[in-house]
Amino acid sequence: METRTIKVIPNARADEVIEAEPLIVRVTAAPTKGRANKAVVQLLSAYFNANVRIVAGASSRKKVVEIEHRD
């Protein structure tokens, strides 16, 4: 299991993950009613091929995610 700090940019033109420090995650979803957070989790799950959950910063653009790699 690994934790990573990410920076989220909601309302972006496209969903993408940019390799930087911290990892930049751009999502098209708006930051209302948890939509952007759900989009971030889905995008990172596909990107890392792992189970991902937000462990800190749910209402912030800077978040900490936990990545549990699948076997």
Counting the structural domains of the chain, the total is 1
Q: Could you tell me whether strands 2-9 and 62-69 are parallel, antiparallel, or unpaired per DSSP bridges?
A: antiparallel
Element (H, E) at 41: helix 35-48
pLDDT band for 70, please (50, 70, 90 cuts). Answer: confident
For the cut 80, the answer to whether the pLDDT of residue 71 exceeds it is no
CATH number at residue 34: 3.30.1200.10
**Overall size of the chain counted in residues:** 71
Domain that holds residue 31: 2-69
pTM for the model:
0.93
Q: What is the pLDDT of residues 11-54, one digit of tens each?
A: 999 999 999 999 999 999 999 999 999 999 999 999 999 999 99
Using alpha carbons, select from 58, 50, 69, 61 the residue that is nearest to residue 23.
61
**Helix (DSSP H) and strand (DSSP E) numbers for the chain:** 1, 5
The number of beta carbons lying within 10 Å of the beta carbon of residue 35 is 14
